[in-house]
Structures are given as C-alpha cells and as structure tokens.
Amino acid sequence: MHCSCKLIKNRNNMNKFGLLIALFAFTLMSCTNQSNKQANENQETTTLDESMVDSQSSEMSLDWAGVYQGIMPCEDCEGIETVIELKDDHTYVAHYTYIGKPEGDNKITFEGTFTWGTLGSIITLQSESVTTQYKVGENQLMLLNTAGDIITGDLAEMYVLKKKM
C-alpha cells in the first residue's frame, strides 16, 4: 500500500507539471496572437495613414490644372512676367517675358511634361533644357530653389504664381 501511494503522488505531480506546461503554452500562444493582432492593427493604421496622406495631397485634393501667372524678380531687368499652364495630361507650357528687355530677346517659351513628387504636393517641370520645381498650393504655385525648398526672405512673395480664375 505504501508503494501505490507513492505512485499516486508521482502521478499527481506529473499531472500538475503537465497542467503547468499546458498553461504556459496557452499563455505563450495568447501573447503571440495578441502581438500578431497588434502588428495587423499597426499595418492597417500605416495603410490608413498613407491613404490619408494621398487623399490630402495637392494632386488629389486641389483643382491644380489651369493657368498661373505672376512677375518674378530679375537681376538685369524689371521683372519676369511668368505664365505657366498646367494641363490634365501632365504637360505644361511656360511663357517668360523679360520686362524692360528689347523685343525679340525678351520672350522664352518652354513646353514639356511635369511629374508629381512622392507626397503629391511638388511638381517638377521638365523640358529639353530646363527643370524647375514648384510647390502646388490652393490656387498658387511657389517656385522652389535648387535644393527643393520654398524661397524665403524679403522677395519670397514674388516667387508665387497665382491661378487665373
């Protein structure tokens, strides 16, 4: 009888040990499932954030096609009358008239295509000889410097073209 009690006691210990292992495995699986669920939620949030950025971009949210004009600063003339037409097919025509320069030498026209930047707020105008970047805003184009930044300073407002209505 003494022997069978010991056997029952060992079985109880083994059952308790098996129960502890099962409980540990269940807890581990729950944590793993929770971590996967969290990863999926984070992925959905990231996708949602990217789509929000896309839907908030100038390309998607603004009526950007049209004619923009203004007079930009000029080092050796009174100003550069600038007229840029952006077309729905991602082509453009840009006319530059150098005010105060003799006729014949004062007009330049570029035609080409433009592309949107990854965030959908900057366009790059490309022609055979010139590449220029503009930030597209509500009814305006802001010329960017060679580093791709908005021009600042006392003359900053002169680098903004307004959309003709």
**pLDDT (tens digit per residue) in 85-109:** 999 999 999 999 999 998 888 999 9
Give yes or no: residues 34 and 67 share one domain: no
pTM of the model: 0.65
Name the domain boundary from 56, 71, 95.
Answer: 56
- What type of residue is 133? Q
Q: Distance (Å, rounded) from C-alpha 132 to C-alpha 139?
A: 18
Q: What is the mean pLDDT of residues 27-38?
A: 44
Give the pLDDT of residue 126. 92
Q: What is the mean pLDDT of residues 109-127?
A: 94
Give yes or no: residues 125 and 79 share one domain: yes
Give yes or no: residues 93 and 149 share one domain: yes
Check whether 150 has a pLDDT greater than 70.
yes
% of the chain exceeding 90 in pLDDT? 56
Instruction: For residue 25, give both structure tokens.
Output: 């495995």
Task: State how many domains the chain has.
Answer: 2
Name the domain boundary from 11, 40, 56.
Answer: 56
Neighbours of 96 (CB within 10 A): 17
Name the domain boundary from 10, 28, 56.
Answer: 56
Give yes or no: residues 147 and 100 share one domain: yes
- Least trusted range by pLDDT, from 10-14, 58-62, 98-102, 144-148: 10-14
Give yes or no: residues 70 and 143 share one domain: yes
- For residue 47, what are the domain limits? 2-56
Give the pLDDT of residue 53. 42
Instruction: For residue 84, give both structure tokens.
Output: 């840029």
CATH number (domain holding residue 143): 2.40.128.640
Give the pLDDT of residue 2. 53
What are residue 98's phi and psi, to 5 degrees? -85, 105
Q: Distance (Å, rounded) from C-alpha 163 to C-alpha 68?
A: 4
Give the pLDDT of residue 111. 95
